[in-house]
A = this chain, B = another copy of it.
Amino acid sequence: MALGEFDDWKIVALAGGVGGAKLAHGLAQILPAENLTVVVNVADDFEQYGLTVCPDLDTVMYTLAGIAARETGWGIEGDTFRCIEALAKLGAPDWFRLGDRDLATHLARTRWLWDGATLTDATRRLCESFEVRQSILPCTDDLLRTIVETDEGDLEFQDYFVRRRFEPTVRGFHLRGLPAALPSREFLEALDSADATVLCPSNPFVSLGPILALPGVREKVAAKAAVAVTPIIGGRAVKGPLAKMFLELGRESSAVEAAREYRGIIRGFLLDRQDVSRKEEIEAFGFQVKIADTLMGDDLQRKNLAAETLRFIRTGLSG
């Protein structure tokens, strides 16, 4: 890759948690910081002990700050868990493992929100403190919550995902907060000034779905070049419940089904080399398909996949 190959490009990346954070990190290694805006799902945010916890925003922020815990993908590397262990002894819920340093993020954010800041403001302040120079935006400053419909009834997302370890059988999803929730002004401005949008390898139902469900977002993303990176490799999700969700919804767990969720929105799809046999099925959705190594184990793989994604937009979608 020529140095500065993408220096004139403005990219909006739509991201959920760990997978999204990794590709955002790859993009951050290539693009000038001021040219990358990562718009993050907030529909899995929740309240714990009165604190506003934003798992996806924090995962992206910690990842871009270079302090994310490598092994787990969430929280801060080397964090301690003294407070949550003490909470467990007090009989208080400890299923969401808040680290001691991580807790400071939630305490500060909650305080700022109480003082009248928007989540966008609070995120900007946090990013400044963590010296993240890229723009990280919550997709909305309004209430938006994924409700997972399961055989045990409706569950809030973290209740399903962390407390119940995504064991309940999924029947469907809906979003609380729609249609009142609006994309933030900052998000809409970023889409307007972007050259292209990258849909990171995040869960299409519970990570990118909520972002795309905000009024007007789908149309704005579709109006320019947009590509998605597959969240499924060889039938499996790299992390999280996506493969299980597909099966419980009576669908195949495959890149094809993931791609199907983005019809009408994207023009290109990055398919993992393992799944090359499914290429034609995805092309049948009207997408151009690029074969790539989509597993992002280390920083270099993140950077390489980001570069592949940008080149695909620049060259592959022109035809």
B86 touches A125 (CB 8 A): no
Q: Is A247 an interface residue (CB 8 A)?
A: no
Each complex incorporates copies of this chain amounting to: 2
Kindly identify, within residues 6 to 64 of chain A, every residue whose CB is under 8 Å from any CB belonging to chain B.
49-51
Minimum C-beta distance from A132 to chain B (A): 13
Question: Per-position contact with B for A145-177: 1 when CB-CB < 8 Å, else 0?
Answer: 000000000000000000000000000000000
User: Chain A: how many interface residues by the 8 Å CB criterion?
Assistant: 28
Stretch among A104-112, A292-300, A305-313 lining the B interface: A104-112
**A105 touches which of B82, B90, B91, B104 (Cβ 8 Å):** B90
The residues in A between 109 and 129 inclusive whose CB is less than 8 angstroms from any CB of B are 110-111, 114, 125-126, 129
Check A291 for interface membership: any CB of B closer than 8 A. no
Interfacial chain B residues near A90, Cβ < 8 Å: 104-105, 108, 125-126, 129
A86 contacts B105, CB within 8 Å? Answer: yes
* Contact A92 B104, beta carbon cutoff 8 Å: yes
Q: Which of A71-112 contact B (CB under 8 A)?
A: 79-80, 82-87, 89-92, 100-101, 103-105, 107-108, 110-111
Q: Give A86 to B62 CA distance when docked, in angstroms.
A: 13
Closest to A99 in B: B82
Are B100 and A83 in touch, CB under 8 angstroms?
yes
| A154–chain B nearest beta-carbon distance, Å | 21
Most chain B Cβ neighbours within 10 Å, of A51, A83, A108, A114: A83
> Smallest Cβ distance from A76 to chain B, in angstroms?
8
B89 touches A129 (CB 8 A): yes
A180 to chain B, nearest CB (A): 24
Beyond A86-B100, A92-B104, A105-B90, whether A110 also contacts B80 by CB under 8 A is no
Cα distance, A100 to B98, chains bound together (Å): 11
- Given A50-B50, A114-B50, are A104 and B87 neighbors across the interface (CB < 8 Å)? yes
A–B complex contacts, Cβ < 8 Å, 22 sampled:
A49-B51, A49-B107, A50-B50, A50-B107, A80-B80, A80-B82, A82-B82, A83-B100, A83-B104, A85-B104, A86-B101, A86-B103, A87-B108, A89-B129, A90-B105, A90-B125, A90-B129, A91-B108, A91-B129, A92-B104, A92-B107, A92-B111
Extra contacts besides A49-B108, A80-B100, A91-B129 (14): CB < 8 Å: A50-B110, A79-B82, A82-B100, A83-B103, A83-B107, A84-B104, A85-B104, A86-B101, A87-B104, A87-B107, A89-B104, A90-B104, A92-B104, A92-B107
Chain A residues close to B by CB (< 8 Å): 49-51, 79-80, 82-87, 89-92, 100-101, 103-105, 107-108, 110-111, 114, 125-126, 129
